[in-house]
C-alpha cells in the first residue's frame, strides 16, 4: 500500500480511540497536511507527509514514517510516525519546596468573625 486515508492512519497511529472520532476531527478542518488545511477525512496520505494538528492542548507535528496495515499495539503504532513536536516544559517543583504560607488572619473569616460582622451590620 502506497497511501491510506488520513482518518484511518490517525486511528492506526492511536491518536484517536475510534475511526469515527478521527474522521470528525479531519472533517472539522483541524488538521494540516504539508502545511495545507484539510477538511476531508478521505484525503490520502503517503510516506514523509507532515501532519500538524492541535490535540489535547498540545501542537503535534508528525512526519509519517510508515503507512501501516492495522491498528496494532502502542509499540507498533509508535513506529508509524516521527514526532517533531516542540518539547513540553514541565513545572520544576521539587518535593522539598514547602507549601505556600498565609499570614495569620488573612483568608476567609472564622465563624465567630463572620457572626461579629453580621451583628455589626445589623446595628447600623
Query: pLDDT digit string (tens) for 70-114?
Result: 999 999 999 999 999 888 776 666 667 777 777 877 788 889 988
Judge: domain 4-83, CATH 3.10.290.10: yes
pTM of the model: 0.70
Grid cell listed for 4: 491510506
Measured CA to CA, the distance from residue 121 to residue 73 in angstroms comes to 67
Domain boundary assignment for the chain: 4-83
40-80 pLDDT tens trace: 999 999 999 999 999 888 899 999 999 988 999 999 999 99
How far is it, in rounded angstroms, from Cα 105 to Cα 121?
20
Report the alpha-carbon distance of residue 27 to residue 84 in Å, rounded: 24
The CB density around residue 18, as the number of other CB atoms within 10 Å, is 10
Amino acid at each position: 500500500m502506497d497511501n491510506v486515508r488520513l482518518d484511518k492512519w490517525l486511528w492506526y497511529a492511536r491518536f484517536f480511540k475510534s475511526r469515527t472520532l478521527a474522521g470528525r476531527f479531519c472533517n472539522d478542518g483541524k488538521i494540516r497536511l504539508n502545511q495545507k488545511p484539510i477538511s476531508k477525512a478521505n484525503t490520502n496520505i503517503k510516506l514523509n507527509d507532515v501532519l500538524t494538528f492541535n490535540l489535547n492542548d498540545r501542537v503535534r507535528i508528525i512526519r509519517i514514517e510508515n503507512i501501516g496495515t492495522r491498528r496494532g499495539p502502542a509499540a507498533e503504532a509508535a513506529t508509524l510516525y516521527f514526532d517533531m513536536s516542540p518539547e513540553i516544559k514541565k513545572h520544576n517543583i521539587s518535593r522539598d519546596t514547602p507549601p505556600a504560607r498565609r499570614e495569620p488572619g488573612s483568608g476567609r473569616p472564622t465563624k465567630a468573625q463572620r457572626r461579629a460582622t453580621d451583628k455589626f451590620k445589623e446595628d447600623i
